[in-house]
Chain A
């Protein structure tokens, strides 16, 4: 049995970035909920970013949220040159936490702070490190 298979079988994976992206491969957006202050932290970690407690449990986010801010990148980093211009933004989920990411399938002129967006997941995994499928946002 490989290490990957063993990890998959673990009932509660460790609250790590690796686990977060492993869940993305299963089309799940996962954070941790603090058992003391009840707030959600994404990316998952072992210390609550709100109250500092270390008693946290995995929680699944629905992926729905609102656009906090955005930009359209015209001069991209080297490895993203082929897809420029592209939009990125920060989304605040209904559960409270925020993540940044690409906004796809949305005309630039439709981008507006406060608009509703939905999380989706890429089906391909990049060949280079880190080999995770990315999440992204699109108009709901």
Chain B
């Protein structure tokens, strides 16, 4: 018999904006849009009275020339004077914010908190955004030598293909699958299907990665209302419990790692999160992984224990991770098709799992999903965050 793990915290509502080009909106306004959806979905919650903390993930001050965003967002949400925190871990900023929110609840110092993430990026030129994203790599040894951010993942792909025989077609199939799922998510940035051929014929960004192997530049926000497990029923009949939460770090520079074909942070965090949750990888019903580049999804399968090292390509070939397959991954469309407003991504993954486990995922619903998992990485996987969720029965 399975040991039922004690919940660390409970999601009582969630909200996410439409991702994509959101012209005319500042990040604070996007965050409010996500939070309002979460608040409206939870009529028993009185935000001003009940919420006692705010956690925001955001990668960079540079996009909007705006630092000190936590009080600003608390103000725009009408939550002043609750303590507000901002965390930065590149693309894992809100995954880390979620962990901070769990710490707050587990400490006993907070009962109900809002945790989310946001990024506003599309108002800048592509070259400027590329440079800002590149800041997540090592400046004097990577950026300064002309190593772009896609190049970091391209080097992982080169090594993975060399070591295991993974092919460009297999990488392309990840993009094709995620675009198919994005078609079923009205909030996804891309609402069109693509073919393997489209991916292979798109321009090379950094070999072997093509333009369609890369997630887009996006605006968007995501938000969860998180409560102490004992209080969850005051707010909803259908809470989703977080039963595993783990994080690991690696060297900032890819070059300092022994094995560039593995995301060690995800492997370590997953192992711990499974242990906390008392589950095995094969028990996960629905998963969101960090497909900033297609190779990252293949490597995530392996790090999460969905297959053996080197067999990620086979998993995509066999259709196991498709919607309708045995182990659906990135039902939201993933970063590739849903979009990747970097600070918003970690909690957006949690929002998708919340929708799936509460039966609200519409056309992309995985029937009877009970256990969910999210895997969020920062930079070249110098940060790895894994959460395991269980439907509250």
Instruction: Spell out A's residues near B (CB within 8 Å).
Output: 17, 21, 43, 49, 68-81, 83, 86, 88-90, 98-102, 113, 130, 134, 136
Asked whether, in the complex, the Cβ of B145 is within 8 Å of the Cβ of A78, the reply is no
Known: A74-B206, A99-B141, A100-B255. A88 touches B151 (CB 8 A): yes
Instruction: Write out the residue numbers on chain A whose beta carbons fall within 8 Å of the beta carbon of B131.
Output: 77-78
B162 at interface by CB-CB < 8 Å: yes
Instruction: Write out the residue numbers on chain B whose beta carbons fall within 8 Å of the beta carbon of A80.
Output: 146
Asked whether, in the complex, the Cβ of A130 is within 8 Å of the Cβ of B140, the reply is yes
A81 to B127, CA, bound (A): 10
Q: Which of B144-160 contact A (CB under 8 A)?
A: 144-148, 150-151, 154-159
A79 to B260, CA, bound (A): 27
Asked whether, in the complex, the Cβ of B147 is within 8 Å of the Cβ of A88, the reply is yes
Asked whether, in the complex, the Cβ of A68 is within 8 Å of the Cβ of B146, the reply is no
Asked whether, in the complex, the Cβ of A77 is within 8 Å of the Cβ of B146, the reply is yes
Instruction: Write out the residue numbers on chain B whose beta carbons fall within 8 Å of the beta carbon of A101.
Output: 145
Majority secondary structure, B binding face: helix
Asked whether, in the complex, the Cβ of B255 is within 8 Å of the Cβ of A71, the reply is no
Instruction: Write out the residue numbers on chain A whose beta carbons fall within 8 Å of the beta carbon of B128.
Output: 78
Asked whether, in the complex, the Cβ of B146 is within 8 Å of the Cβ of A86, the reply is yes
Give 19 A-B pairs besides A71-B151, A77-B131, A99-B255 with Cβ atoms closer than 8 angstroms.
A17-B140, A21-B140, A43-B140, A49-B256, A68-B260, A69-B260, A71-B155, A71-B209, A72-B206, A73-B147, A73-B151, A74-B203, A75-B130, A75-B150, A75-B205, A75-B206, A78-B127, A90-B254, A99-B141
27 examples of A-B residue contacts, CB within 8 angstroms: A17-B140, A43-B141, A68-B255, A69-B158, A69-B159, A69-B162, A69-B260, A71-B157, A71-B208, A71-B209, A72-B207, A74-B203, A74-B205, A74-B207, A75-B203, A75-B204, A76-B146, A77-B131, A77-B148, A79-B146, A88-B146, A88-B147, A98-B256, A100-B147, A113-B162, A134-B144, A136-B145
Q: Which of B250-275 contact A (CB under 8 A)?
A: 251, 253-256, 260
Nearest 3 interchain pairs by C-beta: A71-B154, A69-B159, A80-B146
Which residue from B134, B141, B156 sits with its C-beta under 8 Å from A69?
B156
Minimum CB–CB distance from A88 to chain B (whole Å) comes to 5
A75 to B151, CA, bound (A): 9
Residue of A nearest to B146 (CB): A80
Known: A49-B256, A88-B151, A100-B255. A73 touches B146 (CB 8 A): yes
A21 to B140, CA, bound (A): 10
A69 to B357, CA, bound (A): 40
Which residue from B156, B159, B206, B260 sits with its C-beta under 8 Å from A73?
B206
B143 at interface by CB-CB < 8 Å: yes
Minimum CB–CB distance from A81 to chain B (whole Å) comes to 8
Minimum CB–CB distance from A91 to chain B (whole Å) comes to 8
Instruction: Write out the residue numbers on chain A whose beta carbons fall within 8 Å of the beta carbon of B180.
Output: none
Cβ-Cβ contact count across A and B, 8 Å cutoff: 99
Asked whether, in the complex, the Cβ of B154 is within 8 Å of the Cβ of A102, the reply is no
Minimum CB–CB distance from B72 to chain A (whole Å) comes to 29
A100 to B162, CA, bound (A): 18
Which residue from B143, B207, B255 sits with its C-beta under 8 Å from A77?
B143
**Residue of A86, A90, A100, A130 with most chain B CB atoms under a 10 A cut-off:** A100
A65 to B142, CA, bound (A): 18
Residue of B nearest to A71 (CB): B154
A65 to B96, CA, bound (A): 37
A91 to B146, CA, bound (A): 16
Instruction: Write out the residue numbers on chain A whose beta carbons fall within 8 Å of the beta carbon of B209.
Output: 71
A120 to B208, CA, bound (A): 26
Q: Which of B209-228 contact A (CB under 8 A)?
A: 209
Asked whether, in the complex, the Cβ of B144 is within 8 Å of the Cβ of A90, the reply is no
Asked whether, in the complex, the Cβ of B159 is within 8 Å of the Cβ of A68, the reply is yes
A11 to B34, CA, bound (A): 59
Q: Which of B190-244 contact A (CB under 8 A)?
A: 203-209
Which residue from B144, B156, B208, B256 sits with its C-beta under 8 Å from A130?
B144
Known: A49-B256, A71-B206, A73-B151. A134 touches B156 (CB 8 A): no
Asked whether, in the complex, the Cβ of A74 is within 8 Å of the Cβ of B146, the reply is no
Residue of B nearest to A81 (CB): B127
Asked whether, in the complex, the Cβ of A73 is within 8 Å of the Cβ of B158, the reply is no
Instruction: Write out the residue numbers on chain A whose beta carbons fall within 8 Å of the beta carbon of B147.
Output: 73, 88, 100
Instruction: Write out the residue numbers on chain A whose beta carbons fall within 8 Å of the beta carbon of B141.
Output: 43, 99-100
Instruction: Write out the residue numbers on chain B whose beta carbons fall within 8 Å of the beta carbon of A71.
Output: 151, 154-155, 157-158, 206-209
